[in-house]
Structure 1
Amino acid sequence: MARKKTNRKFKGSAIPAKPEGQIRQSQMVTTYGPGAMVDLVDRAVVIGGLEHWNYGREGYQSLDDPRLRRSLIPRLKALDPNLDLAPEGYFRLAPACDARDPSPRVGIRALEFPRWFVCQGCRRLARANDAFETHRERYRHPCTRNKYSHAVPVRFVAACERGHLTDFPWVPFAHEHNICDRPELYLIEGSTGDVARIIVQCRNCGSSRPLSQATVLPFRCGGDRPWLGGRAANEECGDQLKLLVRTGSDAYFAQVESALRLPEPDPDPLVLKIREKDIWDILQHTTSIDQLRAFVGIPKIASAIAGESLERVFAAVEGARRADANPVERPIRSAEYERLTTAPDEVPGVLAPEKTQFAAYTIPEHRADLPPGVSRLVVVPKLHKIRVQVSFSRFLFLSANLQGEFDYSKAKCRPAVLTRPTGNEKWLPAAEIRGEGIFFELDPGAVQRWEERDAVQERAETLLRAFEADSRGAEFPGVRFYLLHSLAHLLLTAISLECGYAASSIAERIYCEPRPRGTRTGGMSGILLTTGSTGSEGTLGGLVEEGRRLLHHLREAWDIGRLCSNDPVCATHDPSSAASDRRHEGAACHGCLYIAECSCDHFNRHLDRALVVPTIGNNPDLAYFRERP
């Protein structure tokens, strides 16, 4: 994806020039979305907001999904009352640019940021236009009369937890109390590049200060939003400014929501007939079969329900009336879970329809070879998943709820938006993944009995105490989620060792919901592992075939989880301890459960392998699979 160079003075507008870099379309809703900072060859930029996305004459490619749109609108309003989604074209692919013949009218405009540069020769630190000159589209500094050195963007900026971004206040920071008349700053770095060894020095007055004192700054945020362009895009803030490394892992957290593209079920022809306006105007008031029998004398009603029993017609009328009275739609993952758990049995030799976006088949029990504790295996040879970026944050990531939704009304701090709320961009950036997957469901009764064990309830209390100490406004997902999430990571690792796909190319999708109160079973307890690509062909079926060997992979996952290279330290980790820096994990670390962040929707949080398999130093009753499957 082409990005355009910008006005170096950063007056709020960007001047199109030859594109200077490319980004894959799918990355524009994750790593490099609006507000993300990117290093180019000679400068650094921030990806522009949606106002700076140019589609040219060919226009945008829409990825509309009505279910996801209806789900997002109320939460967008909670983020900002002025945000909305248009009736059409509300999810769009990032603009595609021909790398062989780039055009300044197509692509994403990037704005120069930060505006402070440091000389690679003498370490002079200044604003780009104050001490540096431009030579062949690069900044350089006259260190001596006959010697020039290239200048590069300084790697430190300032930001607040609401996502606002601004240049680091170098001059007031270096002087701390009294700013001299003509500040001349230098950034002196040690050999390691560690912040503790970096000194900001003013050679005009001699003031100096180590950058290690800048972790929390005595300055308030001015609400700068450079990705939206110019001072007019700023908003009121006043939060504490913090030092931020531009390329740090905490510089950008995209809030991405997703949904499987499920084809709408074929409507009942009878419902379509009685829903016709002139017929529904009469039938919607029907309260009994006897009353319905009286209406059959009307010719148009008799014609509409010809061949149907009165009982079936009355049931259809009541169902339509209930739908009108309670139009609340089921959450996205609940609807997906229902479709997966009610998938038809697989028929050998029958392939999925060529043009379908979703196909799932249950492996019959006599062929599935499922271990105790697993009740269902479903192969998904075709799936399309749409991913939509809604917002982003810095420093702190936001946790989605069990439905994969971000509840902004409960967030500790409001994240940043991708466009000006008062603008005309009523859409969000999206990407579509085409691929395949395997789904399996844990036996609801077995999960319920496991949750009722004394050891599991005690562990749940420990995890809850630890979570509440660092909840960031999120809700505790529950011990069932810890089980499913940990099992997904173990199984993903086991499958990746044999299926030919790298672990980073397999993604998890957790279906978890506690049982409804007053019932013995229910809720959701399933795992969907998927792989895919943004190309039109998708994948080749390797993951589906591995799904048929689920028992083998569960055994391998059990072996992987039993012993970690960091045991017994990992296995006996107490997240509720005041000394713990991993409040969201039990027995979990890089040696056993952590996987690539592109594969995990939850930033490797809420993990505990002791809930899946027996581990050193823990009660075996914690494990869902106490014996090898």
Structure 2
Amino acid sequence: MALRNKRTSAREKEIKKSPIGAVRRAQLITTYGVGSLIAMEDKSYIVSGLDTWKDNSRWGGALYEPRLQHWLGVTHFQLPPADVPTSGNGVKVRMFPTMYSCGTCQVLQQFRRFNSPEGKSICGACEKPLIPSRFVVACEQGHLDEFPYFEWVHKKTAPDAAKEHRLTLHSTGRTASLRSVVVRCSCGKEASLQGAFGRSAMEALGIRCSGRRPWLGLGTEQNGCPAAPRTLQRGSSAAWFPINRSALSIPPWSDSLQQRLNEHYAALNGAINDGVPEHAVLNLIKNTGMLKNSRFTAKEVLDAIYDRRTLESSARPDSDAEAGFEPANELRKEEYQKLFDGTANADRGDDFECVPPERDRDVPPPPGIQRVMLVKRLREVRAMQSFTRVEMPDPAGGDTRKAALFTGDIDWLPAIEVSGEGVFFTLDQHLLRQWERCPGPVQRAGLIKERHEVLLRRRARGDRPLDQVRSPVSPRYLLLHTLAHILINEWSLDSGYPAASLRERLYVSDDMAGVLIYTATSDSAGSLGGIVAQGEHRRLRTSLASALSRASWCSQDPPCMESEASGVDSLNLAACYACVLLPETSCETNNVFLDRAVLVGTPDDPQTGFFQSSQ
């Protein structure tokens, strides 16, 4: 009895933990995922690894998408916790950075040395609010550490052991630059933070990457990291870039039969692995209750189990090092085929329904468009695979920098599922191949391709020779990507959805030239029919003509059209926020690899535009 009471007391104490804040579930894989820094009131925290998250898969928190599970090598996905605040079962965080300063007495030291009262962030000496360090150091491999204030002040000089060394942080206020931020030591040394953000500033001090991973706790350092640490602002976007992967649920995995099987698959597959006879497995299927109120038989369920076993035993579509160009990977190829062919029929409980337009069958698709399909139902699972720091992941895919989300044995990843609708269309392959041989689009795509390869070589980690680094950028990719952008902008005016609610999904290879524009939300608001209506041939002809007309002229012209380099890392040509760029949530590649000239041509060469040459 005493032991039980002790446990109860401990549980009651845990329940009384106060939450420090709240974020939406979707933000836990896009903005505040594992390893990210989050400011709450007057403190700064880092989101802890997955091994500290509550396993809620047994209470309805598990998500399944067999193709994506197979690609990422996990048994299931899990919704981020969404417990009531007093449960204590939310996402765990750790204080980081631990260096704080007092704005009144200017003392700069670790938070614990301020003797702040429990639950507060105030200086024990002057009782004024404390301020977390504005600066941290990170490397491209995802490691993160405190800014080395002590080493910065003493600049490679051996500190006098006979003197006391206490740091203070001062702001002269003379300028807004880092020159006005001065760190002083009680030994008499002082230094401003000017130059701290230089690419080689830490290396010049002899400071190498510590390999620290504070989101995973103490003792998880990765010693010997060769990357150079860089100074970052604590709230900088460069401090955390998520690496998310997604997949559409397509037949047979979108069928209601597979949905019923998800929860019971592990147990039934285990029985088969243990050599249980088929008739006994059929009885197990009946005893699960999954056949209740369904039209399926136990034999159909068993066949579905073997289908999934075949998927699991097959080679993984892409390894991390070979993932390469995402619009052309195996997952996209499978989706492209299902979107192109459509569904002959769909049950009420299926997650995928794709049909050709029914109305205006006498009206052909717009010039240059080969096929249009209306995706009346779709489900997308978006999972967080990893993250990087300092430099964003390569927008074309294939980046091998992936920080760990956990220590130990975890067989799941955090994910969310979204439902919606969309329009899928493909370009006329015959016209496309003719256009791809024209000098205009080849030259313009070549400029972006060359700059992208320079960027890839600079980021290369030695896993392949520099002369083998190749960019996947092509005229076809620029065309499909820019076309998706102008249609999203156009449809946002006609469909009732803002541009930020629409997304693109590109399918680009020698055999694929397709675009899926869809809306996908975590509730039913993504399936109101406004986007599907845009796919009717007559309406699509009107909206495409209007979108091309808008793209032919930009309020920033002529500089926009004549630009030879724009966007992040100069990976755009004729593209700006006045004509082509979208909210970041809508674009797969953070608004790079865009050029509206490949759509409408240039004043000097109209035939550079695909839709000019296809008339």
TM-score band (shorter)?
A: 0.7 to 0.9
Compute the displacement of 1:467 (Å): 1.8
Looking at structure 1, the residues matched to 184 and 15 of structure 2 have their Cα atoms a distance apart, in angstroms, of 34
Whether 1:484 aligns to 2:463 is no
CA distance, structure 2, for counterparts of residue 261 and residue 437 of structure 1: 14
Match of 1:416 in 2: 403
* Aligned residue identity for 2:429: P
SS in 2 for 1:95: coil
Which is worse superposed, 121-130 or 150-159?
Answer: 121-130
Change (3 A) 1:581 1:439: closer
Task: Indicate the residue corresponding to 2:398 in structure 1.
Answer: 407
Change (3 A) 1:581 1:545: closer
Q: 2:440 maps to which residue? A: 455
Aligned counterparts of 1:425 and 1:29: Cα–Cα separation in 2: 17
**88, 93, 115: which one pairs with 2:98?**
115
- CA deviation vs aligned residue, 1:301-348 (integer Å, no higher than 9, x gap): xxxxxxxxxxxxxxxxxxxxx999997868111111111111158xxx
CA displacement at 1:477 relative to structure 2: 2.7
8 A Cα contact 2:343 2:353, kept in partner: no
Secondary structure of the corresponding residue to residue 151 of structure 2: helix
What is the aligned-residue identity percentage?
31
Preserved CA contact (<8 Å) 1:489 1:593:
yes
1:506 deviation in Å?
0.8
1:222–1:496 distance in 2 versus 1, CA, 3 Å: same
Normalising by structure 2, we get a TM-score of: 0.77
After superposition, residues 8-47 of structure 1 pair within 5 angstroms as: 17-47=17-47
Q: 2:312 & 2:123 partners in 1: Cα distance?
A: 70
Q: Secondary structure at the match of 2:569?
A: coil
- 2:181 is aligned to 198
Pick the structure with more helix per residue. Answer: 2
Matched, 1:221 2:209: yes
| Contact preservation (8 Å) 2:196, 2:231 | no
Aligned partner of 1:603 among 590, 593, 614: 590
Matched, 1:125 2:112: no
Moved more, 328-337 or 428-437: 328-337
Change (3 A) 1:121 1:593: farther
User: What per-residue deviation string (whole Å, max 9, x for no partner) do you get for residues 52-110 of structure 1?
Assistant: 1014696462212221122223xxxxxxxxxxx3xx4x2111122124xx211x21110
Matches within 5 A, 1:82-161: 85=74, 88=75, 90-99=76-85, 102-104=86-88, 106-130=89-113, 132-135=114-117, 137-141=119-123, 147-161=126-140
Distance 1:536 1:627 in 2: 41
Quick check: 1:188–1:201 contact (8 Å CA) kept in 2?
Answer: no
Distance 1:323 1:509, change over 3 A: closer
Letter in 2 for 1:176: K
Conserved 8 A contact 1:574-1:586: yes
Check 1:440–1:469 CA distance in 2 against 1; reply closer, same or farther (3 A cut). same
Alignment pair present for 1:437 and 2:422: yes
What is residue 335 of structure 2 aligned with on the other side? 336
- The separation in 2 between residues aligned to 1:470 and 1:324, in whole angstroms, is 36
- What is the aligned partner in structure 2 of residue 532 from structure 1? 520
Number of residue pairs the alignment of both structures matches: 514
- What SS is found at the alignment partner of 1:149? coil
Query: In the alignment, what sits opposite 1:373?
Result: 368
1:503 aligns with 2:499: yes
Matched, 1:67 2:104: no
Residue 187 of structure 1, CA deviation: 3.8
Question: Which one of 534, 537, 546 corresponds to residue 546 of structure 1?
Answer: 534
The whole-number CA distance in structure 2 between the counterparts of 1:171 and 1:490 is 52
Partner in structure 1 of residue 450 of structure 2: 465
Give the counterpart letter for 1:466 in structure 2. Answer: R
Q: Is the 8 A contact 2:565 2:572 kept in 1?
A: yes
Q: Is the 8 A contact 1:368 1:377 kept in 2?
A: no
Q: SS state of the match for residue 519, structure 2?
A: strand
Equivalent pair of 2:173/2:180 in contact (CA under 8 Å): yes
Paired position in structure 2 for 1:283:
none
By how many angstroms is 1:189 displaced?
6.1
Deviation readout 1:425-471 (Å, 9 max, x if unpaired): 12111110111111111111111111011222222322222222212
How high is the TM-score relative to the length of structure 1?
0.75
Give deviations 1:250-280, integer Å, cap 9, x for gaps: 11111111100112189xxxxxxxxxx9xxx
Q: 1:368 and 1:117, CA in 2 relative to 1: closer, same or farther beyond 3 A?
A: farther
- Rounded to whole Å, the distance in 2 between the matches of 1:187 and 1:594 is 41
- The 3 A distance-change label for structure 1 pair 537 and 558 is closer
Q: Does the 8 A contact of 1:118 with 1:187 survive in 2?
A: no
Superposed CA deviations along residues 561-583 of structure 1, whole A, max 9, x for unmatched, are 2222322222222249xxx9733
Amino acid corresponding to residue 103 of structure 1 in structure 2: S
**1:444/1:169 Cα in 2 relative to 1: closer, same or farther (>3 Å)?**
same
In the TM superposition, residue 234 of structure 1 has moved relative to its aligned partner by 4.2
The separation in 2 between residues aligned to 1:233 and 1:605, in whole angstroms, is 35
Match of 1:582 among 564, 569, 588: 569
Letter in 1 for 2:590: F
Which letter maps to 2:169? Y
Q: Give me the whole-angstrom Cα distance separating, in 2, the residues matched to 1:26 and 1:559.
A: 36
Runs of 4+ in 1 over 6 A off after TM superposition: 322-330
Q: Cα distance 1:56–1:66, how it changes in 2: closer, same or farther (>3 A)?
A: closer
Deviations 1:541-567 (A, max 9, x none): 222123332222212221222222322
Q: Which residue identity is paired with 1:26?
A: A
Q: Please, which runs of 5 or more residues in structure 2 have no aligned partner?
A: 1-13, 256-271, 273-309, 318-328, 461-469
Distance, in Å, in 2 between the alignment partners of 1:242 and 1:372 is 51
Q: Does 1:389 align with 2:368?
A: no
Whether the 8 Å CA contact 1:202–1:208 is kept in 2: the answer is: no
In structure 2, distance between residues paired with 1:201 and 1:621: 64
> 2: distance between equivalents of 1:506 and 1:223?
39
Partner of 2:490: 494
Question: Structure 1 residues 463 and 239, CA, compared in 2 at 3 Å: closer, same or farther?
Answer: closer
Q: In structure 2, how many angstroms separate the alpha carbons of the residues matched to 1:323 and 1:142?
A: 60
Matches within 5 A, 1:163-182: 163-178=142-157, 179=159, 181-182=164-165
Aligned match of 2:550: 560
Alpha-carbon RMSD across the aligned residues, in angstroms, is 3.1
- Structure 1, unaligned runs of 5 or more: 1-13, 74-84, 267-276, 278-321, 346-350, 516-522
CA drift of 1:141 comes to 2.3
Residues 23 and 193 of structure 1: CA distance in aligned 2, closer, same or farther (over 3 Å)? farther
Taking a change above 3 Å as real, the CA distance of residues 124 and 533 of structure 1, as seen in their structure-2 partners, is same
**Alpha-carbon shift at residue 199 of structure 1 (Å):** 2.8
